Amino acid sequence: MCTPKACVHSGYKMIIVMKQNAKKESIKNIIRIIEDKGLSAHISDGKEVTIIGVVGDKTKLHDQNLEIAPEVERIVPVTESYKLANKKFHPEPSIVKVGNVSIGGGNLVIMSGPCAVESREQLFDTAHAIKKSGAQILRGGAYKPRTSPYAFQGLEEEGLKYMKEAREETGLAVVCEVTSLAAIESAVKYVDMLQIGARNMQNFYLLKEAGKTGLPVLLKRGLSATIDEWLNAAEYIIAEGNPNVVLCERGIRTFETATRNTLDISAVPVIKSKSHLPIIVDPSHATGVREYVNPLARCAVAAGADGLMIETHPNPAIALSDGPQSLTFPQFEELCQELRPFAELMGRKF
């Protein structure tokens, strides 16, 4: 593993393919641009086609628009554009501490709670119930991003206070979504971990502000974000000096309508192969249907996820948000029982 500073400046590479029979001066022009920026160029001068391999810190060329320089056919990036989140420079899996809970390593961390904090009583009932079943982190939305402005938008700071109280009463760590700088400024006073939701995954301003807090950040995947973009979003947070990022797969948008989103379970092994960051799975939001939560939670464990986020509610039928996918407490207890032997097979405990 290299240190962050060094990582950024180590050897990033790309390949420049020149157009067939490109003129010598066009090739020289490219080489000049590369070398001016302090990188080196290796030329493969074929009979028909010239290929230039670039060695050095690729980020220095970000603003050069080489792809439209004269007679360039295409640019092929050989290395990823994220570095601090990249496994190549940090081969050991990271472990992120949230309160006294470790995400990554041999734990299977279950986060649970209501989609939206509705009342002190609802939250406390939930906190006690999920703790009893084995959850280690309490989730609960105080700022709810809702498609329609007429839907319930959350209790805001009042909700955060209940979260803190629930933590004090139960010892659970608590995580809450933040949707603005103002929300971050409130949340840091009350919670152990900030959540950036799917709709804000490329709200780069928010990512930076969350990064600056130093608090662990749960970064949900955007509804149509590629894994590459997701890791670049994580890079925004880490680049602020905050390496405590946990990724959360929660389904992507496709043409299928039987589930609310399509859980991209492959994201778990792909992330494990490309990054050192822990990844958890949220089958509740991914499907939007209660009866699919258990099978997909088992999948997540079997795929190698470091944890799960499961929505629970004392009485889903009257939940102010996302009731159809919430588990009751007995259902949650049953799920935890069901998951334990799968976790064990994967060498994880909870």
Q: Using CB under 8 A, which of the segments 104-112, 129-137, 158-166, 253-261 binds a copy of itself?
A: 253-261
From CA 317, how far away is CA 323, in angstroms rounded? 6
Q: Using CB under 8 A, which of the segments 95-103, 106-114, 119-127, 196-204 binds a copy of itself?
A: 196-204
From CA 268, how far away is CA 170, in angstroms rounded? 30
The nearest distance, CB 44 to a copy of itself, in angstroms, is 3
Verify binding: residue 1, a copy of itself, rule CB under 8 A.
no
Of residues 171 and 341, the one with the C-beta less far from a copy of itself: 341
Strand partners, 247: 219, 279
- Applying CB under 8 A, which of residues 2, 65, 121, 189 lies at the interface with a copy of itself? 65
Report which of 235, 226, 279, 234 is spatially closest to residue 104, judged by C-alpha positions: 279
Largest separation between any pair of C-alpha atoms in the chain: 76
Verify binding: residue 126, a copy of itself, rule CB under 8 A.
no
- Applying CB under 8 A, which of residues 287, 310, 332, 335 lies at the interface with a copy of itself? 287
Do 264 and 251 contact (CB within 8 A), yes or no? Answer: yes
Q: In angstroms, what CA-CA distances link 275 with 6, 219, 239, 265, 296? A: 17, 14, 15, 16, 23
- Applying CB under 8 A, which of residues 152, 165, 188, 334 lies at the interface with a copy of itself? 152
Of residues 29 and 102, the one with the C-beta less far from a copy of itself: 29
Verify binding: residue 17, a copy of itself, rule CB under 8 A.
yes
Q: Which residues in 79-98 contact a copy of itself (CB under 8 A)?
A: 81-82
How many residues sit in the footprint of a copy of itself (CB under 8 A)?
106
Of residues 172 and 311, the one with the C-beta less far from a copy of itself: 311
Verify binding: residue 4, a copy of itself, rule CB under 8 A.
no
Q: Which residues in 197-236 contact a copy of itself (CB under 8 A)?
A: 199-200, 202-206, 223-224, 226-229, 232, 235-236
Contacts of 144 (CB under 8 A, 6+ apart): 115, 116, 151, 152, 153, 154, 177, 321
From CA 294, how far away is CA 309, in angstroms rounded? 12
- Applying CB under 8 A, which of residues 24, 25, 258, 347 lies at the interface with a copy of itself? 258
Of residues 18 and 218, the one with the C-beta less far from a copy of itself: 18
From CA 35, how far away is CA 7, in angstroms rounded? 20
| C-alpha torsion angle, residues 121, 131, 311, 331 (rounded to 10) | -100
The nearest distance, CB 138 to a copy of itself, in angstroms, is 22
Of residues 146 and 161, the one with the C-beta less far from a copy of itself: 146
Do 12 and 61 contact (CB within 8 A), yes or no? Answer: no
Verify binding: residue 64, a copy of itself, rule CB under 8 A.
yes
The nearest distance, CB 9 to a copy of itself, in angstroms, is 11
Verify binding: residue 42, a copy of itself, rule CB under 8 A.
yes
Verify binding: residue 121, a copy of itself, rule CB under 8 A.
no
Verify binding: residue 73, a copy of itself, rule CB under 8 A.
yes
Q: Which residues in 155-184 contact a copy of itself (CB under 8 A)?
A: 179-183
Q: In angstroms, what CA-CA distances link 333 with 59, 106, 135, 301, 312? A: 49, 21, 10, 16, 10
Contacts of 231 (CB under 8 A, 6+ apart): 80, 82, 85, 86, 271, 274, 275, 277
Q: Using CB under 8 A, which of the segments 95-103, 106-114, 121-129, 289-297 binds a copy of itself?
A: 289-297
What are the two backbone dihedrals, phi and then psi, of residue 122, each rounded to the nearest 5 degrees?
-55, -45
From CA 124, how far away is CA 103, in angstroms rounded? 23
In the chain, the amino acid numbered 171 is: G
Q: Which residues in 309-338 contact a copy of itself (CB under 8 A)?
A: 316-321, 323-324
